[in-house]
Structure 1
């Protein structure tokens, strides 16, 4: 692989885990430039797999659940990419790698690839690099799992990238009420109550969540988010959760739902990226430019960002 150029998608598919790791490292250095945008737009136009967004409060067991899902998907013969969004180091800004360390994987298994990214300063929980890596991995793997750093009142970026959103909740935590207050119950397509081996507290949490979902009117027309009791340690309920995920995958593939969802996500991500770079005023100035820009979403973002920077430099 040429160290100065990105490979095309076909070359990346043949390059294996080491080749993808090199491409992602280069992407970190050149995100927003034309060459990186060209690769990401090619990946965006050639999606192979589906993206599962996994979110929930810190300590709920998202990484353990991610590991269980990876094993379950691999047992079905699916290749899996994982984006583990970690807290940012206050000193370097990089990922602390705590989540990745808890996701077991076989380094010899070419069907699994795990990458950690720092949340950085994105309140929504996913950096632009994590978005780009997800789009690229979606073109290479059957399943991509995006595990967020931890849901809160503003951490809803996972809804901009997932075909299916799973909200993980632990028993006896009081999360159901907090999530109603935060509007988080509008996000999930499937809810997983972790630590099902606790028994009655887990069942109470399931009942509370089912009530919360009915009150908030969660889910899109034709789909009511189911709640599964899961123990990642014992495997209890994992088959039920996998069944719910399969059912939602089938649902979003019907009648062009997935394509419409991805188009809406792409436009929302573009606006979020410009808002992050230039603020609310910059986003307002960038909207008409986005409407006029040609090409894929990442090329449009790079083009509009250049125009806005030129305006700022001219006004300085």
Structure 2
């Protein structure tokens, strides 16, 4: 009987952290191949994790909250995968990949896996490789936590991948008008004001966020975005955050929005990827239909669209832009 391929889902699922790390490296190296597309489509079909996106400006305390959520979930016996995204240099294209050094995890714990990844050229914060890692890990763990590089007017890629988005705000970040100008209040499902031990500035930030949320165009009657106060120094608010994340997940499942939201995310990702490869020409000629290209099968569909557009461009000599 032949040995399973290194990109066999069963081999990855039973091979421990080393097998997952090797598979993620192979996915990056062999992007666009049929084998990678089939693996990711199978992983998308087997999705079982709640994907939580944690975002906010540098220094807001995302790594501290990541540690708190990992401890909470492990305390409940849940396995956890973490994708920590670091910004890439616009000059050298390199990235420090240092986020994982802030995470206090046990390297011998086979139920916690951390992958540091670069944002590459994505101003939005998530590269294609990071999205592929999330989709694979979503089929292998009970919870997947994505620590993004940031969020604002353009850094909204986290919405392609997360089921629940947690926005971290620090005291002194700006008034409610500043939040609305950035359009940031349209994205989060939960908002956390960190460093609440600062007192009055933290309470003022909470009030400003609540004011911005009241003006945001959100139409989910079964979920009101909570604005929480948390302090790593005092250890307060962390349990409230974990409970809010779980409450939001239950709402998504019970309302049926979880699967609908993931299908919409997959379609948006596919359109974005084709636009980045082929410009508006490619998007116009790709013949993408939401009923045909939902997961499972999305990655293979994207691969075929890619091949079709390359062949068409080669035959016509048309430019993509």
1:280–1:232 Cα change, 3 Å = farther
Q: Secondary structure at the match of 1:52?
A: strand
Bigger CA drift: 227-236 or 74-83? 227-236
Structure 1 match to 2:220: 220
Give the Cα separation in 2 of the matches to 1:219 and 1:97.
37
Structure 2 match to 1:250: 250
Give the Cα separation in 2 of the matches to 1:35 and 1:245.
34
Q: Point out the structure with the larger helix share.
A: 1
- How many matched pairs? 315
Give the Cα separation in 2 of the matches to 1:104 and 1:256.
35
Structure 1 match to 2:305: 304
Preserved CA contact (<8 Å) 1:290 1:301: no
User: Which string of whole-angstrom CA distances, capped at 9 and with x for unpartnered residues, describes residues 215-235 of structure 1?
Assistant: 114362321100111123432
Q: Secondary structure at the match of 1:287?
A: coil
Structure 2 match to 1:14: 14
Give the Cα separation in 1 of the matches to 2:287 and 2:86.
31
User: Which string of whole-angstrom CA distances, capped at 9 and with x for unpartnered residues, describes residues 9-56 of structure 1?
Assistant: 222221110110000010110112110000000000011211001111
Structure 2 match to 1:66: 66
How high is the TM-score relative to the length of structure 1? 0.93
Q: Pairwise mapping of residues 64-103 of structure 1 onto structure 2 (< 5 A)?
A: 64-90=64-90, 93-103=93-103
Preserved CA contact (<8 Å) 2:176 2:211: no
Preserved CA contact (<8 Å) 2:267 2:293: no
Structure 2 match to 1:117: 117
1:122–1:141 Cα change, 3 Å = same
How high is the TM-score relative to the length of structure 2? 0.92
Q: Secondary structure at the match of 2:141?
A: coil
Give the Cα separation in 2 of the matches to 1:288 and 1:109.
42
User: Which string of whole-angstrom CA distances, capped at 9 and with x for unpartnered residues, describes residues 167-195 of structure 1?
Assistant: 11001121643321021100000001111
Structure 2 match to 1:315: 316
Give the Cα separation in 2 of the matches to 1:244 and 1:160.
21
Preserved CA contact (<8 Å) 1:85 1:146: yes
Bigger CA drift: 43-52 or 202-211? 202-211
Structure 1 match to 2:46: 46
Structure 2 match to 1:37: 37
Structure 1 match to 2:144: 144
Gaps of 5+ in 1: none
User: Which string of whole-angstrom CA distances, capped at 9 and with x for unpartnered residues, describes residues 81-124 of structure 1?
Assistant: 01111011446534321322222211101111111111111222
| Shift in Å, 1:137 | 0.1
Preserved CA contact (<8 Å) 1:6 1:39: no
Structure 1 match to 2:202: 202
Give the Cα separation in 2 of the matches to 1:83 and 1:127.
11
Structure 2 match to 1:279: 279
| Shift in Å, 1:73 | 1.3
User: Which string of whole-angstrom CA distances, capped at 9 and with x for unpartnered residues, describes residues 195-238 of structure 1?
Assistant: 11212211111111111101114362321100111123432100
Preserved CA contact (<8 Å) 1:89 1:96: no
Aligned: 1:171 with 2:171: yes
Give the Cα separation in 1 of the matches to 2:39 and 2:94.
24
| Shift in Å, 1:74 | 1.1
Give the Cα separation in 2 of the matches to 1:226 and 1:293.
34
| Shift in Å, 1:58 | 1.9
| RMSD, aligned CA | 2.1
1:230–1:293 Cα change, 3 Å = closer
Q: Secondary structure at the match of 2:222?
A: coil
Structure 1 match to 2:229: 229
